[in-house]
Amino acid sequence: MHKLVKQAREAGRNLLEHEASALLREYGLPCVPSVLACTVEEAEQAAEEIGFPVVLKMVSPQIIHKSEAGGVKVNLGTKDEVRLAFSEIMASAKSFNKEAELKGVLVTLYLPGGTEVILGMNRDAQFGPVLMFGLGGVFVEVFKDVSFELLPVNEEDAYEMIEGIKGRVILHGTRGQKPKDMAGIAKALVNLSQLVLENPEINEIDLNPTVVFEDKIAILDVRILI
């Protein structure tokens, strides 16, 4: 069990987003650069270090769905915009849940474009951990166009998962677009499998959204529940 998982478990909570990102990076999963900022000054400084534009996301153990709580501000191009976003996030967090403990905000790189995909893990009562892969947005929500694979997932399995969705043609490149970085997705699935095998206390993982470009993939948002 990884020390971050152990820590969170002992504290009786899930992994905070910056912890989850750190854990994923250790397993070679490409989370966008992020820094936890507890004050507005720290947020500004983090934004300069990461480079504009950035995203600010609320960090609170009690709030899992940040967007619903008004806790996500994207495409912030200047320090002024960061400052304003910080105070707005703090205010909406308080109005969303008075009891919520606010650890600060997570400052991450804003990466526009790319194709949204979802990588995830759930535990099935019968068969144990199962990885899930699909295209983001309407593809997963409306068409349920996802593929599942039992662990362990090796490279060949990972490619089968990618080819197992109908939307694969989008990743292969349609209408004159170049193919997306499918090797990157496959590697991420294999690494995710390894992470889950080595940390059986993790119950659920959501890497949503993850964006895929021609030459790389980037995980923009992370949720790890234990």
Partner 1 sequence: MSGRKDLDYYFYPESLAVIGASTNTYKAGYQIVKNMLDYGFTGKVYPVNPKEKEVLGLSCYQTLNDIPGNLDLIIIAVPSSHVLGVMKEAAARGGIKAAVVVAAGFAETKVPELVELEKEIVATARQAGIRVFGPNCVGIQNTRNFLDTTIEPPVVKTQGDISIITQSGAMGGTTLLFMEEQPAPLGFSKWAHVGNMSDVDVLEILEYYGEDQDTRVVGMYMEGIRDGQRFREIASKVTKEKPVIILKVGRSEIGSRAAASHTGALAGSDKIYDAAFAKCGVTRVDYLEELVDVAKGFSMQPLPQGNRVCILTEAGGPGIVAVDQLGFAKHAELAHISEEGRKKLEACLPSMAMICHPDGYIDITAAAMSEHHADALNVVLDEPGVDAVLLITVPPTFLPPVELAQSLLPALKAANKPVFVCFLAGKWCDEANAFLEANGIPTFKMPSQAVRVLDEMMERKKYLDKIARQEGGAPNA
DSSP secondary structure string for all residues of 87-101 = HHHHHHHHHH-TT--
Is residue 95 close enough to count as binding partner 1 by CB under 8 A? no
Taking the complex as a whole, the smallest distance from the CB of residue 99 to partner 1 amounts, in Å, to: 34
Q: Which of 42, 4, 18 is nearest to 222 (CA)?
A: 18
Taking the complex as a whole, the smallest distance from the CB of residue 194 to partner 1 amounts, in Å, to: 10
Is residue 127 close enough to count as binding partner 1 by CB under 8 A? yes
- For partner 1, which residue of 117, 190, 217, 218 counts as binding (CB under 8 A)? 190
Assess contact for 210 and 114: CB atoms under 8 A: no
Contact region for partner 1 (CB under 8 A) — 60-68, 75-83, 154-162, 213-221? 154-162
Is residue 154 close enough to count as binding partner 1 by CB under 8 A? yes
d(CA 131, CA 206): 10
Q: Which of 175, 128, 178, 181 is nearest to 158 (CA)?
A: 181
Taking the complex as a whole, the smallest distance from the CB of residue 204 to partner 1 amounts, in Å, to: 14
β-strand 54-59 against 115-124: which pairing, if any?
A: unpaired
Tell me phi and psi for residue 32, to 5 degrees. Answer: -65, 150
Is residue 130 close enough to count as binding partner 1 by CB under 8 A? yes
Task: For partner 1, give the closer residue by CB, 101 or 155.
Answer: 155
Is residue 126 close enough to count as binding partner 1 by CB under 8 A? yes
Contact residues for partner 1, defined by CB under 8 A: 124-128, 130, 147-150, 154-156, 190
